[in-house]
Amino acid sequence: MRDILPALGDWYTAGHPFGLATVVAVSRSAPRDPGAAMAVGPGDEAVGSVSGGCVEGAVFELAKEVVESGRARLETFGYSDEDAFAVGLTCGGEITLLVRPVTRETEPAFAAVAESVAAGRPVTVATVTDGPARVGATLAVWPEEVSGTLGATGLDVAVTADARGELALGATGLRHYGPHGERREDAVTVFLHSFAPPPRMLVFGAIDYAAAVARIGGFLGYRVTVCDARPVFATPKRFPEAVEVVVDWPHRYLRGTDTDERTVICVLTHDPKFDVPLLEEALRRPAAYIGAMGSRRTHDERMERLVESGLTESELSRLRSPVGLDLGARTPEEVAVSVAAEIVALRWGGSGAPLTVTGGTIHPST
Per-residue pLDDT of the chain (366 residues; tens, 9 = 90+): 888 999 999 999 999 999 999 999 987 655 678 899 999 999 999 999 987 667 888 899 999 999 999 999 999 887 543 433 344 444 456 889 999 999 999 999 999 999 998 888 899 999 999 999 999 999 999 999 999 999 999 999 999 999 998 888 888 999 999 999 998 899 999 999 999 878 899 999 999 999 999 999 999 989 999 999 999 999 999 998 878 999 999 999 999 999 999 999 999 987 888 999 999 999 999 999 999 999 999 999 999 999 999 999 999 999 999 999 999 999 999 999 999 999 999 998 899 999 899 888 776 655
Burial category of 103 from C-beta neighbours within 10 Å (exposed 0-12, middle 13-18, buried 19 and up): middle
Contacts 24+ apart (CB under 8 A), 249-256: 249/274, 250/204, 250/205, 250/274, 250/275, 250/277, 250/278, 251/277, 251/278, 251/280, 251/281, 253/227, 254/202, 254/204, 254/227, 254/278, 254/281, 254/282, 254/285, 255/281
Cross-strand bridge partners of residue 99:
21, 73
Rounded Cα gap, residues 82 and 103, in angstroms: 39
Rounded Cα gap, residues 66 and 107, in angstroms: 14
Question: Smallest Cα–Cα separation from 139: which of 170, 169, 164, 176?
Answer: 164
- pTM of the full structure: 0.70
Q: 3-class SS at 275?
A: helix
Cα-flanking dihedrals φ and ψ of residue 21, to 5°?
A: -105, 125
